[in-house]
Amino acid sequence: MNITESKTFINYSTGILKGENVIESVRKLGDIKDIYTDKKAINRMDQDQIAYKVQMHNTENEGKEGGLYIGTSFLYPGRVGDEYFMTKGHYHQKRDTAEYYWCISGEGILLLMDETENTNAVKIYPGSLNYIQGNIAHRLVNTGENILVIGACWPSDAGHDYGSIAEHGFSVSVKSINGKPEVISR
């Protein structure tokens, strides 16, 4: 019997996915300007500057119960005023679905907010593994000098609800205060 070849690959030191069914999306600062508190600062910046890229391996159809996706997020370093670069953040559309995040390189903070807007901030760095339970909104913040690279696995029926975050935001901001990250109520 023939032995076939694997068709998709993950590089552990870079997080880069390659091969069949790998798709990539890019978020520029201009796409996510509403998430930052300092409106003057964001308007002065290059709206085409890349804030982050997401790669995902996408074999299943979105919404397929029992299926999984795997992906890598590459969040660039930078600040908008005092506020560090961050992802839009989302709840899952099917609220009670979980996600794993593991940090491949860089350093940052993972914000975890429940639906009563109670927020936890968790320090992440290479090797840290975080399990995000259902019903918890999650946002990555890059507090370092290099790209923050995060691997993730989530159910293919989870979906993304960005709307709730766009409307209400997170209850905290992560800002550089005297050169150190601090988590501050908004």
Binding site residues, a copy of itself, CB under 8 A? 1-6, 8-13, 17, 19, 57, 59-60, 65-68, 70, 94, 96-100, 102-104, 109, 119-125, 127-131, 133-134, 153-156, 158, 172, 181-185
Residue 110 or 165 with smaller CB distance to a copy of itself: 110
Cα gap 97→95, rounded to integer Å: 6
Residue 71 CB, nearest distance to a copy of itself (Å)? 11
Residue 114 or 182 with smaller CB distance to a copy of itself: 182
Cα gap 23→58, rounded to integer Å: 7
Cα gap 73→150, rounded to integer Å: 5
Q: Which of 150, 153, 70 is nearest to 107 (CA)?
A: 150
Cα gap 68→58, rounded to integer Å: 8
Residue 28 CB, nearest distance to a copy of itself (Å)? 28
Cα gap 86→80, rounded to integer Å: 10
Cα gap 156→97, rounded to integer Å: 10
Residue 39 or 123 with smaller CB distance to a copy of itself: 123
Residue 94 CB, nearest distance to a copy of itself (Å)? 7
Residue 137 or 172 with smaller CB distance to a copy of itself: 172
Residue 119 CB, nearest distance to a copy of itself (Å)? 8
Residue 164 CB, nearest distance to a copy of itself (Å)? 18
Residue 4 or 167 with smaller CB distance to a copy of itself: 4
What SS3 class is residue 104?
strand
DSSP annotation of 166: H
